[in-house]
Structure 1
Amino acid sequence: MIRPALDWGDVISFQDYDKLLALVSNSLIAGAVLGIVGGLIGIFIMQRDMAFAVHGVSELSFAGAAAALLFGGSVVAGSLAGAVAAALLIGLLGSRARDRNSIVGVLMPFGLGLGILFLSLYEGRSANRFSLLTGQIISVTTPDLGWLIGISVAVLVALVLVWNPLRFDSLDPDSAAARGVPSTAISMLFMLLMGLVVAVAVHIIGALLVMALLVTPAAAAMKVVHGPLSVPLLSALFGFVSAVGGILLAIAGTLPVSPYITSISFLIYVVCRVIAWSRDRAVRGRTQRALNPAE
C-alpha cells in the first residue's frame, strides 16, 4: 500500500499536549499581549492608510535581528533598532502618502536583502535563521519575555495618553491641524510606537507575516462595527484570539507558528466580511421596499 505524501498525523497531533503546553508559556503570554496591542494600534494603521508601511518596517526589523544573530548580540535589541530606524525614516521623509509609499518600496528590498546577507553569513542553527522570517514557538526566552512585555505595555500606555488627538489626526488631519493638534509630532510618535510593536511581532510571528496581527484584526473589526469604543475592543479581541489560538494549535503541530496565526486571523476577516455583506444586503432590501411599497 502506497503511503500518502501528506499524513495529517505528522502535521498536527495532541499527544503529550499538556507537557508541551508548559514549554511555551512565555510565548503564550507574549502572544496574548502582542495580539491586544497589535489590534489596538492596527486601528490607526488602517485609518492612516499605512498597512504597506508595516511591511517596510518589518523588513528593516528583520535585517536588524539578522545582524544581531550574526554578530552575537541580542536579537530583540537588533530587531528594535531596525524597526525604530525604519519607522523614524519613513516618518521623517514620507509626510505625504505618495512619498511614504515610495520610501517603503525602497526600504523593503534593501532590508530584506541585507537580512538575507547576514543570515547567509551566519553559521549557527538553521532554525534560528528560519524563525526570523516565519516565527518560532519556543523563541521567547524568559529574559526576552520581560523586554517584550515592557515594550508592549509602554506602547499601550502611550496609545491611551494620545488616543484622542491621534484619532482626530488620523480621521481628519486638516481639521486637526487647524484646531492646534501637533500633527508632525503625533505622526512621529505614532511611527515610533508602530516600529516598537512591529519589532515585537517579528520576534513572535516572523518578519514576513506581521500584518496578520497588526492589520487584519483591525480590518476585520471595522467591517462589522463602527463605534469609537467597539472597534478597538473588537480589534484587540481578534488579535488576542489569532495570536493565542495560533500558538495553541502550533503546540500540537510540526509547522511554524505563523501559518496557524495567519489562518485564524484570515478566517476571522472572512467571517466579518460575510457578516458585513449580509447586513448591507438586508439594508438595501429594506430601502428598496420602502421606496417601492407597491412591488
Structure 2
Amino acid sequence: MSTLFDFSDYGALLALVSHSLIAGALLGLVGGLIGFFVMARDLPFAVHGISELSFAGAAAALLIGADVVTGSIVGSLIAALLVGLLGTRARERNSVIGVLMPFGLGLGILFLSLYPGRSANRFGLLTGQVVSVDTPQVVTLAVVAGVVLVALLLIWRPLLFASVDEDVATARGVPVRTLSLVFMVLLALTVSIAVQVVGALLVLALLVTPAAAALRVASGPLAVSLLSMAFAVVSIVGGILLALGAAIPISPYVTTISFAIYLICRLIGRRGPRRADVGFRP
C-alpha cells in the first residue's frame, strides 16, 4: 500500500499540476453542461464512439510528432460529422457509431504500436495523465471550452426544444437538422479535450455520469445543468488531487468519484418523486 500512495511531497507535486487543475475545472464545466443535452438527446453511445476516433487522431498526431490536442480535435470532428450526417435517426445513428468505434480503436492501436517513444505517452491517451497538460495545451483547452460554452448558451432554447420533442420543433420551424449537426460538433470538441485529461476509454465518466446523477435529484433544465457541472468539476478536480500521491493514473479516481456521486444521488432520488422524466421540459 505504501508503494501505491505517498503524500510526503504533496505540496511540491501540487505545484506541478496547476495546469491540469485548470484544465480539469474547465473540462468539468463544459462536460457537465453538454452532458445534460447528451442525456436529453439520448447520445451516451455517441460520446464513446467519438472518443474512439478522437483517440485515433491523437495517436496519429503522436506518431508523426504533431500536436496531440489538434489530432484529437480533428479525429473527434470527423466522427461527429459522420454520425451527424449519416445517422439521421436513432437506429441509423447507433449503427454508424457501432461501425466507427472498432474502426477508430483499431486505428489508434495501430498508430500507438508504431510509435517509438515512451510507453507512458501511449498509455496516457487511453487512461489520462495527471501532468500531461502544459501551457500551450491549457490555452488550447481553454479556448475550446470557451467556444463550446458560448455556443451552447447561444443555442440553448432551440436546442432544448429540439431535444425534448423533435417533431413538434420541426413543425414550428426550428432548424432541427442544423442544430443537430452543430451540437455534434460541440460534443466532438468537448470529447477531444476530455481525452487529454481522462483518456479515451473513460470519457463517459465526465460527459454522462454527472448528468445522469443530476437527473436523479433535480428537475428543470437549469437545475440539472448546474448540478451536472458541479458533479463533473468535483469528479475531475478531486481525481487529480487524489492521483498526486498515487502511482496509478488519474482516471480510476475520476471514475470512482463520479460513480460514487451517482450512487448517492440515486439513493436520494429513491426517497422522493422520480425526476428523470421531468428534467427535459422546455
RMSD: 0.9
User: Which portions of structure 1, spanning 4 or more consecutive aligned residues, are displaced by more than 6 angstroms?
Assistant: none
Q: CA deviation at 1:11?
A: 1.7
- 1:161 CA displacement: 0.3
3-state SS of 1:185 partner: helix
Distance 1:183 1:221 in 2: 26
Aligned with residue 151 of structure 1, among 121, 144, 152: 144
| 1:90-122 deviation line (CA, Å, top 9, x unaligned) | 000001000000000000000000000000001
In the alignment, the residues of structure 2 paired with residue 276 and residue 169 of structure 1 have an alpha-carbon distance, to the nearest angstrom, of 27
Within the alignment, does 1:73 sit opposite 2:66 as a pair? yes
Shift of 1:228: 2.4
Are 2:257 and 1:264 aligned?
yes
Instruction: Point out where structure 2 has 5 or more consecutive residues left out of the alignment.
Output: 275-282
Partner of 1:237: 230
Which residue, out of 20, 29, 33, partners 1:40?
A: 33
TM-score (norm 1): 0.92
For 2:279, the equivalent position in structure 1 comes to none
Deviation at 1:229, TM superposition (A): 1.5
Residue 75 (structure 2) aligns with: 82
Q: What letter is aligned with 1:92?
A: L
Does residue 254 (structure 1) correspond to residue 247 (structure 2)? The answer is yes
Aligned positions, number: 274
2:178 corresponds to: 185
Corresponding residue for residue 9 of structure 1: 2
Percent identity between the two aligned chains? 64
Q: Distance in 1 between matches of 2:13 and 2:193?
A: 23
Taking the aligned partners of 2:157 and 2:273, their CA distance within structure 1 comes to 29
Distance 1:229 1:106 in 2: 35
Normalising by structure 2, what TM-score?
Answer: 0.96
Please give the secondary structure, in 2, of the residue aligned with 1:140. coil
> Aligned partners of 1:52 and 1:236: how far apart in 2?
20
How far apart are residue 280 of structure 1 and its match?
A: 4.2
- Aligned equivalent of 1:288: none
Which of 46, 57, 61 does residue 53 from structure 1 map onto? 46
Q: 1:223 aligns with which of 200, 204, 216?
A: 216
Bigger Rg, which one: 1
